[in-house]
Amino acid sequence: MDIGTLVGLGMCWAIFVASILIGGASPLIYINIPSVVMVLGSSFFALFVANPLSRILGIFKIFMQTVRLPAYEMEKTIRIMVEFSERARREGLLALEDNLQELDDEFMRRGIQLVVDGTDPEIIKSILYNEVNQIEARHSSNIKVFDTWGTLFPAFGMLGTLVGLIAMLANLQDQSTLGAGMALALITTLYGSMGANMFCIPVAAKLNDRTKTEMLFKEVVIEGVLSIQSGDNPRILLEKLIAFLPPAQRDGVRQEGKD
């Protein structure tokens, strides 16, 4: 579980609500169901226009990616790569087939399988990089759902405020309800801004960050697979792959590599 996402969302909303309560005004004045329906509903269906149906229906699954921690273990993966490289030099590329089941990561397994099958290095490179590019394209389409929502939310908030203002201004005779009418009109802007800044924008940023981490992991795997196939020295392979890590994590990998 990604504690950052959960604690972040929880605390962000908690502090916000607490500051309203401390302000002394009745919290009820901030709740208006028709306004929620309008801002949330209209902007959500505008997303339907902007996206293919399947992507919208999977929106909850996309969000859940920010709550689950990704399973990429860069350091372990680099060690496995070095081991495979050593074995391939000792016993030949075909010997790697025995260890394929050990691999948790589907992408790495597929890469090594292509090597074991004796596929041409250029073709392996093109297949794996193409796959990575397609994953990135699909991820960025998913992220764009939240990006678009993050811009539609305040837009529909403002639309609601305009509707409220016009109604209020067209009916100015009753000055006693002026303040309440305007407060109601502003509530949709508040909802729109909350939806964007307290949900969509940070979620899209986290999804973006996750995609970058995944792409980095997959690049390490491709570099490793191609290096194993070309019979690189395992020491060189290690140097190549730890260049992807931040310096602080390198010594651990180097150490275990020597054991």
* Contacting a second copy within 110-149 (CB under 8 A): 114, 119, 123, 126-128, 130-131, 134, 137-138, 141, 144, 148
Distance from C-alpha of 169 to C-alpha of 166, rounded to nearest angstrom: 5
CA distances from 98 to 90, 92, 94, 108, 255 (A): 14, 12, 8, 14, 26
The interface region with a second copy, picked from 79-87, 90-98, 158-166, 251-259 by CB under 8 A, is 158-166
Q: What is the 3-state secondary structure (H, E, C) of 98-126?
A: HHHHHCCCHHHHHHHHHHHCCCCHHHHHH
| 231 touches 89 (CB < 8 A) | yes
Kindly tell me which of 51 and 91 has the beta carbon lying closer to a second copy. Answer: 51
Nearest Cα to Cα of residue 205 among 149, 135, 146, 133? 146
Kindly tell me which of 5 and 85 has the beta carbon lying closer to a second copy. Answer: 5
Binding status of residue 85 toward a second copy by CB under 8 A: no
Binding status of residue 64 toward a second copy by CB under 8 A: no
Q: How far is the CB of 43 from a second copy (least distance, A)?
A: 8
Question: 162 to 191, contacts with a second copy by CB under 8 A?
Answer: 162-172, 178-180, 182-183, 186-187, 189-190
Binding status of residue 31 toward a second copy by CB under 8 A: no
Question: 218 to 247, contacts with a second copy by CB under 8 A?
Answer: 232, 236, 239-240, 243-247
Binding status of residue 59 toward a second copy by CB under 8 A: no
CA distances from 213 to 36, 136, 243, 244 (A): 35, 11, 15, 11
Structure tokens at 160: 């609601």
The interface region with a second copy, picked from 23-31, 77-85, 86-94, 96-104 by CB under 8 A, is 23-31
Size of the site for a second copy (CB under 8 A): 101
Among residues 93, 194, 226, 253, the one that binds a second copy under rule CB under 8 A: 194
Binding status of residue 100 toward a second copy by CB under 8 A: no
Binding status of residue 38 toward a second copy by CB under 8 A: yes
The interface region with a second copy, picked from 37-45, 76-84, 93-101, 251-259 by CB under 8 A, is 37-45
Asked whether the CA dihedral 187, 188, 189, 194 is positive or negative, the reply is positive
Cβ neighbours of 215 (radius 10 Å): 15
Kindly tell me which of 62 and 159 has the beta carbon lying closer to a second copy. Answer: 159
Q: How far apart, in Å, do the first and last CA atoms of the chain sit?
A: 32
